[in-house]
Structure 1
Amino acid sequence: MLYLFFIFRTLMNETSLVATLAPNIPAMVELHFAIPMAGAIICPLNTRLDPNMISNILKHSEAKILFVDHQLLQVTKEAIHLLKNTQPESPLLVIIPEFLSPYKHEHKYEYETLVESGVIEFPMIRPHDECDLISLSYTSGTTSKPKGVVFSNRGAYLNSLACVLIHGMRQMPTYLWSVPMFHCDGWCLPWGVAAIGGTNVCLRRIDPEHIFDNIVLHKVTHMGGAPTVLNMIANSLTADKKLPHSVEIMTAGAPPPPTVISKIEELGFRVSHAYGLTETYGLGTWCLWKPEWDQLSVEERGKLKARQGVKHFGIEELDVKDPVTMESVKCDGKSIGEIMFQGNPVMSGYLKDPGATEEAFVGGWFRSGDLGVKHEDGYIEVKDRLKDIVISGGENISTIEVESLKEGVDVDAEEIIEYCRDRMSHYMAPSDRDFSRFATEFDW
């Protein structure tokens, strides 16, 4: 199974890049091993991308092969059509079918057929250097064209083991896949779970009831998910759905509200919080929990879990610095600076973009673009994106603090403004509002 690339080796005169476009299915786990073992570089694509963006990434990455799930075949065909308008050659298309799919008769290459025809004796091609590329992950591109973030074998190795550690995994865990494997290679956990003999439970789509049923059926021990996933679970499962055993759930990014953390822990989950970026292979820090914190109130525990914490062992240095002077900020929980990283699980650079790479590492540190503070115990806490910070009267306003209102509450604009004025510094409170169908915008 891991040697299915034998059939393609004559097409690869040098190290080639192989793209994937699929949800969390078993083939995605397999391809995270098969592609590097064939001496190629894996490039997992975001399944939410439109044809134009897929076409641009395929062109930029120069992918030689594209493995695509049968449900994403139409958007892929549109992307390939666009690509043919700009370059003569397109990547070879390999369809990952559903069971008893007719695709094997329509396309020259079909995943399961290739697996069955693989040569067992095909030798694994090891990297010449541990700093050789293993993966190319594209950023979301919400404010500009997505950048290709280069991962090295060494960085992926260290980050996969670090993520296993901070996730509290022991030997032979059962991991439920709700974190997309296209996102930073699933926080490097396809490799990490395998390293400790774990079992992967794959979910094609995120559904709270489906998550619960799989946890019970497969005796899941660990899972991960964005705060939105935790919110879905907390607001979808009733008290009678309490888990038969405790499940460790790791979330990253903006912290879930304390009420969500409290509710989801009542269901049987144990929440831990981490932080990182595509450029740091996913998770780079974690809120290392101290036993004495268990005695605190739910609200106090929620505030502590909202912090992004300390670096894991793969990261050499983590700091919050003034982006101009590069001086470390005070550990007072108030002084704001930019969160910066050094270490092996920091990207090797942006593919074909030396200018952006140089800008990201000005001063010898990787600049995250995130603003944060350091508390007295050294734990960091993210406050905002550098580009999103709002300045009013010379004061910095964290949009994260302003936006951390509960979803689904039926209130009008005046109530929101009054609520903010009662609970925030007055310079933070909005003075005007504009409700639209898709967003709520405030003017200070």
Structure 2
Amino acid sequence: MTWRDIDELPKIPANYTALTPLWFLERAATVHPARKSLIHGFIEYTWRQTYDRCRRLASALADRSIGPGSTVAIIAPNTPAMYEAHFGVPMSGAVLNCVNIRLNAPTIAFLLGHSQAAVVMVDQEFFTLAEEALKLMEEKAGPGFKPPLLIVMADEICGSESLHRALAKGAMEYENFLESGNPEYEWKPPADEWQSIALGYTSGTTASPKGVVLHHRGAYLMALSSPIIWGMGEGAVYLWTLPMFHCNGWCFTWSLAALCGTSICLRQVTAKGVYSAIAKYKVTHFCAAPVVLNTIVNAPPEDTILPLPHTVHVMTAGSTPSPSVLFAMNQKGFRVAHTYGLSESYGPSTICAWKPEWDSLPSETQARLKARQGVRCVGLEKVDVIDCHTGKPVPADGKTIGEIVFRGNVVMKGYLKNPKANEETFAGGWFHSGDLAVKHPDSYIEIRGRSKDIIISGGENISSVEVENVLYNHPAVLEASVVARPDEQWQESPCAFVTVKSGYEKEDEKRLGEDIMRFCREKLPAYWVPKSVVFGPLPKTATGKIQKQILRAKAKEMGPVPRRSKL
């Protein structure tokens, strides 16, 4: 046979099967059936039990004609049921939609209607929220509205009142629903790995949220890619500080099964809870947005356990971490890997890959290098920074700003029912992130902000991220976000929104604001210095991202900075 003959041999069951992360669970149950898979308070499951429970869930769904073409929504924090849904739902052939628990009822009603959810699984703590959303859907649909099957998950932490109300409303209790399923259910992998496995919605800050559709192939590749680039090994003990509803937990829901690791579930995330879990369960890894890292490094002594009993590896993404926070985490003994990605790229798709030659550099320099978004992960074929007008790659000079674009197997299928958005976001054969960055001589990329976050003052571009990094070095600043404020003389100027550290709450705001501006003046070009500083808590998403669209609106409401204001 010639090579051409061999290349034309057909794919057969013996040598080809669609890629899907569902096989990871079957393997974990076979290799480590007695190893702990999930721990949530007093609840503990082994991998054998988790596999059986997931098959029960798939079977119970299939018995009710829920399968290919169906959407199953789940509204829940990090609990065993949320984890099980990541396997049980796609095992039935249906698509899983994890809903952000911090959304309001009208937005959830939109998501459930847009995705045509046939089933809504809801944690009892959020039953009232789901109930209100379904009521809004019914009012909009009118007579003939067919509500989705409602399943409520009980939790002793929440008491029984909301559970009893849910059952009285006709909801099925989750454990009873599982009992109706077959633990020996013979699930089948998808016939095509391009088949949809999950649906997740973007934040929808300026319009209706967009539904990001992911496929089995991408989920499989990302579930393996992230542990490889992180150095996360077999048997890892993973603390769920990152919401599973965010990008399916950056695909670590499936990674934990591939590694036969153990998931420690946290219903609510606090610094004390993180430190306690590290000590009690010997946690080796967790993921968190920079805002969570900030909480950890600024936790009061009574909530911490230092020095750490062992090395704890942290992956951070979601927004650009300041070098000062990365430095503080390192000083406390955490080993932080900085990654970057979007819902449309299955979560983190680049990493600031560490180089041994950087070990001898000063700690502050290391933190600055680590704050860069880095290079593509193993599972992504291409990432670049291109000129927004020409579409050509920008020079690797660390100065020229362009848009980050992706291409590869861990890019979404597209937005659900949104051909116009798909055409725009995939223009030129790339996925366009909307994030602006520079490319350094070593090919590492570094974000300068979203396109709408670049402040144009007197015709000159100001990177809000760089101003924020300086603010974080001020001793009084706990959190900071910089947006554009109208300016009578310069059209726009930086406005800093700041949350102060404990001990600075009673400081005179005018004096402290002037001190912060003076601090910035020593480290930044004059026109980059914030002309106004606003104190108070910063609005955040469920994953800890600061909601700049809200801050931009506040800055606009403040009116323009008067022409005679001095820097």
Q: TM-score, normalised by structure 1?
A: 0.95
Q: CA offsets per residue over residues 295-331 of structure 1, 9 Å max, x none?
A: 1111101101100000011111100000210111111
1:361 to 2:434 alignment: no
Output one character per residue of 1:90-117: Cα deviation in whole Å (capped at 9) or x when no partner.
2111000014847375344111112233
- Is 2:260 the counterpart of 1:197? yes
Any idea what SS the aligned residue of 2:298 has? helix
User: Does residue 41 of the first structure (1) align with residue 98 of the second (2)?
Assistant: no
Worse-matched range after superposition: 118-127 or 370-379 = 118-127
- The answer to whether structure 1 residue 94 and structure 2 residue 159 are counterparts is no
- Quote the residue 1:6 is aligned against: 59
Q: Which residue of 1 aligns with 2:218?
A: 155
* Alpha-carbon separation, structure 2, partners of 1:300 and 1:11: 58
**Segment of structure 1 superposing worse, 203-212 or 249-258:** 249-258
- What is the match of residue 316 of structure 2? 251
TM-score (norm 2): 0.75
User: Does residue 444 of structure 2 align to residue 344 of structure 1?
Assistant: no
CA contact (8 A) 1:44 1:137 kept: yes
Q: Aligned match of 1:58 in 112, 132, 150?
A: 112
Map of 1:133 onto structure 2: 196
TM superposition shift of 1:371: 0.3
In structure 1, what is the equivalent of residue 512 of structure 2?
A: 412
Whichever residue aligns with residue 98 of structure 1, its letter is D
- Provide the residue aligned with 2:488 in structure 1: none
Q: 1:243 to 1:130 in 2, by over 3 A?
A: same
Cα pair 1:147 1:351 within 8 Å, conserved: yes
From 450, 461, 478, the equivalent of 1:385 is 450
| Equivalent residue letter for 1:40 | A
Shift of 1:67: 0.6
2:356 pairs with one of 285, 291, 308? 291
Matches within 5 A, 1:189-338: 189-238=252-301, 241-338=306-403
Task: Label 1:32 to 1:240 Cα distance change in 2 as closer, same or farther (>3 A).
Answer: closer
> Aligned pair in 2 of structure 1 residues 435, 121: CA closer, same or farther (>3 Å)?
closer
Change (3 A) 1:412 1:13: closer
Counterpart residue number, 2:206:
143
Q: In the aligned structure 2, how far is the partner of 1:437 from the partner of 1:285?
A: 30
1:11 offset after TM fit, Å?
Answer: 3.1
| CA-to-aligned-CA distance 1:271-300 (integer Å, 9 cap, x gap) | 110000111111010000011212111110
Deviation at residue 198 of structure 1 after TM alignment: 0.8
The structure that has the greater radius of gyration is: 2
1:421 matched to which residue of 2? 521
Task: Tell me if structure 1 keeps the 8 A contact 2:61–2:92.
Answer: no
Q: Give, in angstroms, the shift of residue 267 of structure 1.
A: 2.6
Tell me, yes or no, if structure 1 residue 181 matches structure 2 residue 281.
Answer: no
User: For residues 175 and 368 of structure 1, do their structure 2 counterparts lie closer, same or farther at Cα, with a shift above 3 Å needed?
Assistant: same
What is the aligned counterpart of 1:79 among 130, 133, 139?
133
* Pairwise CA RMSD: 2.0
Which segment drifts farther, 432-441 or 127-136?
A: 432-441
Structure 2 equivalent of residue 19 of structure 1: 73
Judging changes above 3 Å, is the alpha-carbon distance between structure 1 residues 267 and 403 closer, same or farther for their aligned structure 2 residues?
closer
> Residue type of the partner of 1:146?
P
Deviations 1:98-151 (A, max 9, x none): 148473753441111122332123221321211110000100112221100010
Q: Is there any run of 5+ residues in structure 2 with no aligned partner, and where?
A: 1-52, 473-477, 479-499, 505-510, 539-550, 562-567
CA contact (8 A) 2:275 2:305 kept: no
Residue equivalent to 2:187: 124
Secondary structure of 2:350's partner?
A: strand
Structure 2 CA distance for aligned equivalents of residues 23 and 150 of structure 1: 21
Cα distance in 2 between the residues matched to 1:83 and 1:292: 58
For the residue of structure 1 that corresponds to 2:390, the secondary structure is coil
**Alignment match, 1:67:** 121
Structure 1 residues 86 and 5, CA, compared in 2 at 3 Å: closer, same or farther?
Answer: farther
Q: Is the 8 A contact 1:208 1:237 kept in 2?
A: no
User: Percent identity between the aligned chains?
Assistant: 45
Gaps of 5+ in 1: none
CA distance in 2, matches of 1:198, 1:431: 50
Change (3 A) 1:74 1:332: same
Q: 8 Å contact 1:242–1:266 — kept in the other structure?
A: no
Letter in 2 for 1:427: Y
In structure 1, what is the equivalent of residue 484 of structure 2? none
CA distance change for structure 1 residues 290 and 322 in 2, over 3 Å: closer, same or farther?
Answer: same
Q: Which amino acid aligns with 1:5?
A: A
Residues 415 and 267 (structure 1 numbering): CA distance in 2 closer, same or farther, change over 3 Å?
closer
> Cα 1:220–1:371, aligned 2, differ >3 Å: closer, same or farther?
same
AA aligned to 1:167 is W
Q: How many residues align?
A: 444
Relative to structure 1, the CA distance from residue 432 to residue 219 in structure 2 (aligned partners, 3 Å threshold; closer, same or farther) is: closer
Q: Is the partner of 2:381 in helix, strand or coil?
A: strand
Quote the Cα distance in structure 2 between the aligned partners of 1:306 and 1:433. Answer: 24
Report deviation, 1:432.
5.1
